[in-house]
Structure 1
Amino acid sequence: MKAIGLIGIVTTAFVVGLSGAMTPGPLTLVTMVRATRNGVKAGMKVCLGHGLVEALLVLALGLGAGAVLARSSLAGAVAAIGAVVLGVMGFFLIRDARTASLDEMTALMAEERNELGPVVAGIGATVGNPYWIMWWATVGVSYIVLASRFGSLGLALFFGGHYLADIITLGIVSAVMAQGRRWLSGEWYRRLLLIFGVFLWGMAAYFLYSAWQFWY
């Protein structure tokens, strides 16, 4: 019975995580940007940053931090901070869209191979998303309660199933975007950066609106 329960936890954690990972959001967009500019490895580093945050969060929830995450004031603060972060990222993309070139993109790939920039971007895109906080304060906490019945192994399998969904989804996104840049002209590359930047600004505006709703 315990084995069946553990299999159920890892399986459902994967399926639910897959549905969440496939929903477009800041993390997906940042992954697309990094993979387009710096290749597949950069996209997967974004996923690594996301995973580090979630691993710490699962540990915190296992120790009883769920009630803190459920506070609307915290969600509002996260939304406001996320709006600023996304707004700044969008600004730099729109600025770069004016002069960016494919030669510059190739240079960026060489420069960022050993840097933590994509990892930090993954962390920022994760903690700056209020709906990520809300998911973990509700669905995530429920899963933690169920998984904790099986001790540390249950929590580890839950996280493993959940994060595997992120790896697969963001890995596919990274591969598609990295391969797609081979057919990009300089003009279309600049247009793509502009589109990404505008989308980030749109998300920033939505997060600001969400912060207002959480607070008032």
Structure 2
Amino acid sequence: MDLTALVFTTIAVSSSGALSPGPLTVATLAIGSRYGWKGGGYIALGHTMFEVPYILTLYFFISYIRDLLEGFVGDIVTIVGAGTVVFFAVMLLKDSFKKLRAVGYHVSIDGNTDSKWIKFSNSPVLVGIVFTGLNIWFLLWWLSIGFGLLMYISDMGLTAIGIMYLSHVWIDFAWLILVAETSKRGTQLVGARGYYLLMVFLGALLLVFGLNIVLKRFAQLSLLP
């Protein structure tokens, strides 16, 4: 495969993963509603900080990593990852319901708070790292669909890996920045009450995603289409 074909193949294949709704996208909506496109950019940076070493590890140790994630280690990652998503959802729901109970709904979107949700959302890079590294389906995507890309470049050297990854990662940045900025602008239209109602919805959606991760792994069931 020549480099031009590699670029277009990577873009086509990557879209199936980058644009799929999941916990990282929902977290980006929640954080983007406060910080706009910058929040999405920082989350994408955190995502990249985990993804680059993971891809390099796969490139050199694909069989070993596959065995780990399809076995007991994969089960542990699933449980920890789902637990993290559920914990994030509970923090978000708790903080949002607290604000909605405020008298007359006169609450500030950007006001200071000591809530765990706000403290966590103040570190979007960390959110990107955690929601990527503990997402079993992201890890397995690179072992299945994404593995085809690694096979294509297996004899082309590290330069090809760099070209492949740049062709892939810009989609992550573009998507997460777009999601975050769209959320921010929508929040400005609906005001504080609408903002916290949106956070309740996103928190509930994250809760469903967390439960769905466990059900798909251990019971082959899905709460989502």
TM-score by shorter chain over 0.5: yes
Taking structure 2 as the reference length, the TM-score comes to 0.83
**Partners of 2:6 and 2:182 in 1: CA distance:** 30
The structure 1 segments of at least 4 consecutive aligned residues displaced by more than 6 Å after TM superposition are none
Other-structure match for 1:62: 59
**Partners of 1:199 and 1:35 in 2: CA distance:** 16
Other-structure match for 1:180: 186
List alignment gaps of at least 5 residues for structure 2. 100-105, 221-225
Is 1:38 the counterpart of 2:35 in the alignment? Answer: yes
Q: Which amino acid letter does the alignment assign opposite residue 131 of structure 1? A: W
Identify if the C-alpha distance between structure 1 residues 61 and 178 changes in structure 2 by more than 3 Å, giving closer, same or farther.
same
Is 1:103 the counterpart of 2:108 in the alignment? Answer: yes
How far has the Cα of 1:107 moved from its partner?
4.9
Is 1:130 the counterpart of 2:130 in the alignment? Answer: no
Worse overlay, 173-182 or 155-164:
173-182
Do the aligned residues in 1 keep the contact of 2:37 with 2:181 (CA within 8 Å)?
Answer: yes
In percent, how many aligned pairs have the same letter?
23
**Partners of 1:86 and 1:51 in 2: CA distance:** 19
Other-structure match for 2:80: 81
Other-structure match for 1:189: 195
**Partners of 1:66 and 1:175 in 2: CA distance:** 39
Is 1:117 the counterpart of 2:115 in the alignment? Answer: no
How far has the Cα of 1:39 moved from its partner?
2.2
**Partners of 1:17 and 1:91 in 2: CA distance:** 31
Do the aligned residues in 1 keep the contact of 2:187 with 2:194 (CA within 8 Å)?
Answer: no
Do the aligned residues in 2 keep the contact of 1:91 with 1:197 (CA within 8 Å)?
Answer: yes
Identify if the C-alpha distance between structure 1 residues 174 and 66 changes in structure 2 by more than 3 Å, giving closer, same or farther.
farther
Taking structure 1 as the reference length, the TM-score comes to 0.86
**Partners of 2:49 and 2:25 in 1: CA distance:** 16
SS of equivalent to 1:148: coil
How far has the Cα of 1:127 moved from its partner?
1.6
CA RMSD of aligned residues (A): 2.2
Other-structure match for 1:72: 70
How far has the Cα of 1:81 moved from its partner?
0.9
